[in-house]
Amino acid sequence: MAAILVGTGEVDMLERGIALLSIGLVAAFAWWLGLPAALSSHGSGAPVGDRAHPVRPIRPPTHDKATHDTATHDAPNDAGERGGVGVPRRAVRVTVVRLVDGDTLIVRSRVAVPGVLAAGETRVRLLEVDTPESVESGAPVECYAHRATAELARLAPPGSEVSVLPDLDLLDPYGRTLLYVWNARGDFVNLQLVRSGAAEAVLYEPNDRYIDVMRRAEAGARASGVGLWGRCDYFGQPA
């Protein structure tokens, strides 16, 4: 009987020894696995979480060539707008005061918008379009000039609100502010003038944001003979 008890006690001690040895091996293995990450984190001076998910600094938006080339992507619902290009989110709302001719108008802003226009009245020359002349000093009125002004009055009548957006160069040699214009209905006024045959597409470098769209619109207007292309022998013909 005593021998059996001694044997049983030896077995229990052996089992306890094996269990303790197993626990020690597991703890040692876990410590070995965690050591490289701890050393890496300590050496970098940054928590592991920050290394896995670095914080990217927020940079202010810039009007560089890259954003310029993809400008039409910030215009929602482009395809659904009658003008073909929707109003960009960064466009500024102003009020039309009066028209000068088919491609120039006076607008008013209640506040100054840096990089776009000053508070008060601003003389705006529509970008990427040219309409027949009607007010040039010492020059005859050109064919379709008054109709072009009437078309602009239909799209952006005095007293109405419009949205405007600059391109790369803000001013022309005459000090006029160069802008793209959308009316309250979302029509892209510059483009609509070309589509209706009231204007031709003209590149004023480096302001070429929508020039491809403008040139396609002019080609379509010429082919259809709409506006001045069906009434004048050539653009700039004296009336």
This prediction's pTM: 0.68
pLDDT of residue 6: 46
pLDDT of residue 148: 98
* Between 35 and 153, residue with greater pLDDT: 153
Domain covering 80-231 in this structure, CATH number:
2.40.50.90
pLDDT in tens, 118-156: 999 999 999 999 999 998 778 899 999 999 999 999 999
Indicate the SS3 state at residue 200.
Answer: strand
**Please, what is the Cα angle at 188 between 93 and 211, to 5 degrees?**
115
pLDDT in tens, 181-230: 999 999 999 999 999 999 999 998 999 999 999 999 999 999 999 999 99
202 is written with which tokens?
């003209």
Closest residue by Cα to residue 123 from 146, 149, 100, 93: 100
pLDDT of residue 102: 97
